[in-house]
Amino acid sequence: MNSRTIILALSCISMTTLSFGADLKIGLIGCDTSHAIAFTKLFNDASDKNHIEGGKVVVFYKGGSPDLKESSSRVDGYAKQLQENYGVKQVDSVEELCKEVDVVLLESLDGRPKLGQVTPVLKAHKPVFIDKPIAGSLKDALAINKLAKENNTPWFSSSAYRYYESMVALKGNDVGTIRGAISYGPSELEKHHPDFFWYGIHATEALFTVMGPACESVSRTATHETDVATGIWSDGRVGTLRGLRGGATPHAVILFGSKAVVEQGKGHDDYAPLVQQIMKFFQTGVAPVSNEETIAIYAFMEAADESKREGGKPVKISEVMKKNGG
C-alpha cells in the first residue's frame, strides 16, 4: 500500500467517523448570494419543513466583489441575516474559518476569487462544496481540480437543476436509447465571466445530467437574445443548449430516445434535494457528481465561447483542455 492509498484510506475512516458522530461544523465562504441564506436555513433551522440534519453552519467569511453590483449590493445584508437570524459567527479570513470547521460551503457569487478562496480550504483538507460557477475560467477550474488531487481532499459542485423533482422524473421515463437532448434556460451575461459561466451553467448542467460527460466538440451560434451551442458526443449523439435572454426565460430539457421523445414537466423544484446531496457528500467524502464531469461541463462552455470567437466554427474539447492546462 503506497502513501497516497494510506492517506485516502485514513481520510475515508475520518469521514465515516464524522458521519456517525456529532453534527458537522460547516463553514461558509461568501455571503453575496441568496444560496448562502437558503442553504444555511436548511441546515440550521430545525423548524423548516425541509430541515437537513447532520451539521450546522457555524462560521462565515463574508467575501464579496466590489466591482460586481450583484455581489456588492447584497453582501452586507446577507452577512447581517446570517448573524442575526441563524447565529453564525463572522471571521476575518478563510484560514481562520478552516480552523473552526469540519467542512466548507464555498458560496461566493463571483467565480474569479474562488481559486484563491478554495486554496487554503484544500490545503487544510476540508471537504468542500463549490457553488456555481466554480471559477472565472476553465484554467482556474482545472487548477482547483489539480490542487484537490494534490491534497487528497474531495470537492463537489452541482447546479440545483440536476436534482430537481422534475429532472428526476424526466430521467425516470423509459425513452429507450438516448439519442440526444435539448436543454433551454436563462443565460444572462456578465462581463467578468465567460458567457455561459454566469447563468447558462444551469441549463448546461441539465444537458450533461441527461447526456453524460463525453462531449467531443462544440459549435455555437450567438445573437443578442439567444445562444445555441451544439455538442457532438463521442458516440455520435447530439446535445443542444439554447440560452435565453431578453424575454421569457423558462427552463426545461427535451429528451430524444429510440422509443419516445419526452419534455421535462413541472415539479416541486427547490434547493432541498441538492443540499441533501451536499450533506451526504460531507458525511462520506464521495462526490455524487464526478469532478471529471464537472470539468467537462466547464470545458463545454469554454469551447462554446471559443466557437463564438471563431464565428461558429466547431471547437474540440481536447483543444480547449490543452490550451487551459488540462
**Cα separation of 60 and 82, whole Å?**
8
Helix, strand, coil percentages for the chain (3-state, nearest 5): 45, 20, 35
**Is 46 exposed, middle or buried, given 0-12, 13-18 or 19+ CB atoms closer than 10 A?**
exposed
Mean model confidence pLDDT for the chain: 93
Fill in the DSSP letter of residue 52. Answer: -
**Cα separation of 113 and 308, whole Å?**
25
Spatial contact of 122 and 147, defined as CB atoms under 8 Å apart: yes
CA 101 to chain centre: 21
User: Residue 103 phi/psi, 5° resolution?
Assistant: -145, 170
Q: Give me the pLDDT at residue 303, please.
A: 98
**Cα separation of 290 and 269, whole Å?**
23
Q: Give me the pLDDT at residue 6, please.
A: 43
pLDDT digits (tens, 9 = 90+) for 268-296: 889 999 999 999 999 999 999 999 999 99
Check pLDDT > 70 for residue 20.
no
- The H or E element that residue 240 is part of is strand 238-244
Question: Which of left, alpha, beta for 129 (phi over 0: left; psi -120 to 50: alpha)?
Answer: beta
Check pLDDT > 70 for residue 114.
yes
One-letter amino acid identity for 15? M
Per-residue HEC secondary structure of 1-19 comes to CCHHHHHHHHHHHHHHHHH
pLDDT digits (tens, 9 = 90+) for 31-45: 999 999 999 999 999
For strand 215-222 and strand 315-316, is the pairing parallel, antiparallel, or unpaired? Answer: antiparallel
pLDDT digits (tens, 9 = 90+) for 231-266: 999 999 999 999 999 889 999 999 999 999 999 998
Q: Which CATH class is domain 161-269+298-323?
A: alpha beta
- The H or E element that residue 212 is part of is none
Q: Give me the pLDDT at residue 13, please.
A: 41
pLDDT digits (tens, 9 = 90+) for 190-228: 999 999 999 999 999 999 999 999 999 999 999 999 999
Per-residue HEC secondary structure of 19-39 comes to HHCCCEEEEEECCCCHHHHHH
Q: Which residues pair with 219 in a beta bridge?
A: 230
Q: Give me the pLDDT at residue 235, please.
A: 96
CATH topology of domain 3-157: Rossmann fold (3.40.50)
**Cα separation of 196 and 200, whole Å?**
4
126 closest CA partner among 108, 146, 151: 151
Q: Give me the pLDDT at residue 21, please.
A: 52
User: Residue 19 phi/psi, 5° resolution?
Assistant: -70, -25
pLDDT digits (tens, 9 = 90+) for 58-75: 999 999 999 999 999 999
**Cα separation of 181 and 170, whole Å?**
12
Domain parsing of the chain, residue ranges: 3-157, 161-269+298-323
Gyration radius from the chain CA atoms: 20
